[in-house]
Structure 1
Amino acid sequence: MICILMGVSGTGKSTIGKLLSQKLGWKFYDADDFHSEANISKMKQGIPLEDSDRLPWLQAIRAKIEAIVARQDNGIFACSALKQSYRELLQGNDPQVAWIYLKGSYQQLWQRMQDRPEHFMKPEMLQSQLDTLEIPQDALTVDIALNQAEIVDRIAKYLQDLADLKPGKLR
């Protein structure tokens, strides 16, 4: 199974992904690591990415998902996946991809982004992400106001429930 934690910057995708990885024993992948240097440079300058910038990034993540699925392994990805078309590309034809939407208020997100000045995603870009976000209809939605342990427990239970509906169990 593949779990993709999605949402705008500042929702805690990477933090929750690492904690979930520890809880489940699955490998964690941060989608930020798949960005080109050109994309990172744009974001550091406060320039929002365009779909043409994102396509190779999404394709690289999809290739990694395919490799994990081919090994019949599990993985957790932290990826903004703001648009439905991005999620469709990442999903491919794999029914074992589970979506988790981490949702927070503008104020929560802004504050979190202010608290991490070393990150290449600048707080001034938050509104552009919120404007781009197409709220998923096929995801577990988790409020980031919950504490990290509660968030991880909810996601783990959701994944277990999904696994109970599919052949084979979580490993």
Structure 2
Amino acid sequence: MESDAGQRMIVVVMGVSGCGKSLIGARLAASRGWDYQEGDALHPPANIAKMRAGTPLDDADRAPWLDRIAAWIGAERAAGRSAVVSCSALRRRYRDRLRAADPALRFAYLRVGREELARRMAAREHFMPLALLDSQLATLEEPASDEHAITVDAGAPADEVVARILAALAG
């Protein structure tokens, strides 16, 4: 299915662990009938084991994961499909690496306060432990204005967050 404007569009739903990337990404894709890829599913097993053990990933760990996500984005682009992928994309250079697969790539940054992130992470079952939240926040480089990312307060209800992203994508 094409975007509302009739053009193909690929969106990366980004942010730190616990911000709602998976939930919002899946709902955003479903609302438009677009393909969806859970970015965590593309992590090499060694990355999952490292995070599960409470050790933050470094750039060398993230490289093959970002390459897998970029390959997925490139395949969606080549097929002419609109799609959504969830990916923390914490640093600008990671976003630039993904943008290389699709120069028209859009980012939807889900901003949530630390207290709410901690509450969400404590309440869920996931390989990313709460102990790594501060390392994620320390790594985060919020998108700069020249990246034309959509920044959304993801403390709002999920349907409202999706509606805000869709409105920004249409505008």
Q: TM-score, normalised by structure 2?
A: 0.91
- Structure 1's unaligned 5+ residue stretches are 162-171
Is the 8 Å Cα contact of residues 24 and 156 (structure 1) preserved in structure 2?
no
What amino acid is the match of 1:150? Answer: E
1:121 to 109, 120, 128: 128
Aligned residue-pair number: 160
Aligned-pair Cα RMSD in Å: 0.9
Q: Which residue of 2 aligns with 1:169?
A: none
The aligned runs of 1:13-32 (5 Å cut-off) are 13-32=21-40
Q: Distance in 2 between matches of 1:69 and 1:7?
A: 23
Q: Distance in 1 between matches of 2:159 and 2:47?
A: 32
Q: Distance in 1 between matches of 2:87 and 2:102?
A: 17
Alpha-carbon shift at residue 95 of structure 1 (Å): 3.2
2:67 to 59, 84, 103: 59
Which segments of structure 1 move beyond 2 Å, counting only runs of 4 or more? 93-96
CA gap 1:47/1:36 in 2 versus in 1, 3 angstroms: same
Q: TM-score, normalised by structure 1?
A: 0.91
What amino acid is the match of 1:60? Answer: R
Q: Which residue of 2 aligns with 1:130?
A: 137
- Structure 2's unaligned 5+ residue stretches are 1-8
Query: In the alignment, is residue 7 of structure 1 matched against residue 38 of structure 2?
Result: no
User: How much identity, in percent, do the aligned residues show?
Assistant: 45
CA deviation digits over 1:46-84, x for unaligned, max 9?
A: 000010000011001101111110011111011000000
Alpha-carbon shift at residue 14 of structure 1 (Å): 0.3
Alpha-carbon shift at residue 8 of structure 1 (Å): 0.1
Q: Which residue of 2 aligns with 1:144?
A: 154
Q: Which residue of 2 aligns with 1:80?
A: 88
